[in-house]
Structure 1
Amino acid sequence: MRTFLRRAGALAGFVALLWVVQGLNWVTGYSFNRAFGLIPRHIGGLDGIVAMPLLHGSFAHLMTNTPPLLVMGGLLAATATRKLLAVNAVVVGLGGGLVWLLGSSAIHIGASGLVFGWFGFLVARGVVDRSPVTLGAALLVGFLYGSILWGVLPGQPGVSWEAHLFGALAGAATAFVVPTHVHAPRLRNMRK
């Protein structure tokens, strides 16, 4: 329980950080997006691989990402093992790296790549691990957010479908590459 509370606190801190960054970004006329957004195939845009999830184009943009971050992040906090940092590093690094290599020439920002990465990971992990817990998490995420898969298709102006697509693919790949089996709590010897 202590581990879950620590992870839930870290998730709440991350989401709070997103809102603080958004406030500062807004105050500066969204200068952070130009300075730290992911710019495909530009050396100066490489830092955007890490910074992209922290930056948003408006408060409405961040508001759209906040509920799925909390729900899927909560499921990760409740079901992931010690590999949670590795999962996030691969999702952000691989997903962002693919956007940098193959994305359209624009400034890519937003946590939706991370949202799609967590979605891909949670669904694929249910298939890979096949424990009741991970299958239940996969079904819940699929039921609540399955319609987001339409976001991997091009066509919406101003939306980085590439971050959505590559985030989902990175998340699914992570489920196969980073073992994160949910284990039953260890039984302890009990004295009567």
Structure 2
Amino acid sequence: MSISETGTHRPILRRLSPVVILLAAMWLIHFVDFVLPFVTFTGLGLLSWSVPGMLGILTAPLLHAGWPHLLSNTVPFLILGALICWESGRRFWTATAIIALVGGLGTWLVAVPGTLTVGASGLVFGYFAYLIARAFFAPKSPHRLGWLVLAVILGLVYGGAMLQGLAPWQFGVSWQGHLFGAIGGVVAAWLLYRRSAPKVLGAAG
């Protein structure tokens, strides 16, 4: 197999394109929402305990309540998402789908009925949890030590902010979205690395 076939030397932008595309979609949607009069997309967010509001499982991560909300999510989303993309774009999309589904359903069920939730912070918490859990669920490999080191670094850099984001007394902050997003990240890591673990065959006796 040639080096080009392994994909280890793909251009950086191509490797990171999934997270860049998703982040660009968030910015484009918010820009259109900002410049067009009498148009708002936030009503398409996740509306708890509403069957039509379940559509927000797909749309809510792309919507934000304002520029400060979008800006606060942009940097951690890009950094954490890029770390997942660096390994595999397919894993990024799969993990994102699992996190959005688990995080959305959990928020829909637990949040106060009629609560409207928007923002990518659930994905941010999910990516963080995924990267931490990956170090423990992944099969033994030469890369596992590096993943453990990365998990420790992420814990030191983002751990305090993540714990603060789970506090239920913060006004205007969806701790439910953060909590279930993180749970979705753990589920995604478990599913993806359980599936990728090599099977060990016993010798015939």
Fold conserved between structures, TM > 0.5: yes
8 Å contact kept, 1:79–1:134: no
Within-5 A mapping of 1:83-102:
83-102=91-110
- Choose the corresponding residue for 1:160, options 170, 174, 188: 174
Residues 68, 115 of structure 1: 8 Å contact kept? yes
Distance 2:192 2:17 in 1: 23
- Name 1:145's counterpart in structure 2: 158
- 1:132 counterpart letter in structure 2: L
Match of residue 123 from structure 1: 132
Match of 1:72 in 2: 80
Question: Which has the higher Rg, Structure 1 or Structure 2?
Answer: 2
Unaligned 5+ segments in structure 2 are 1-8, 198-205
Identify which of 7, 32, 42 aligns with 2:41: 32
Say yes or no: does 1:103 pair with 2:111.
Answer: yes
CA shift for structure 1 position 134? 1.8
C-alpha distance 82-20 of structure 1, shift in aligned 2 (>3 A): closer
More off after superposition, 71-80 vs 160-169: 71-80
Identity over the aligned pairs, expressed in percent? 35
Distance 1:67 1:59 in 2: 13
Shift of 1:9: 1.9
Q: Does the 8 A contact of 1:91 with 1:167 survive in 2?
A: yes
Alignment coverage as a number of residue pairs: 182
Cα pair 2:126 2:186 within 8 Å, conserved: yes
Which shows bigger deviation, 124-133 or 56-65?
124-133
Matched to 1:136, the amino acid is: V
Find the counterpart in structure 1 of residue 69 from structure 2.
Answer: 61
Deviation at 1:79, TM superposition (A): 2.8
Question: Aligned partners of 2:24, 2:174: CA distance in 1, in Å?
Answer: 23
1:173 maps to: 187
- State the secondary structure of the residue aligned to 1:104: coil
| CA apart distance, 1:80 | 4.0
What displacement does 1:104 show? 2.1
The Cα RMSD (Å) is 2.2
CA contact (8 A) 1:38 1:108 kept: yes
Distance apart, 1:30 and its partner CA = 6.4
1:22 maps to a residue whose letter is: H
C-alpha distance 13-142 of structure 1, shift in aligned 2 (>3 A): same
Matched, 1:22 2:36: no
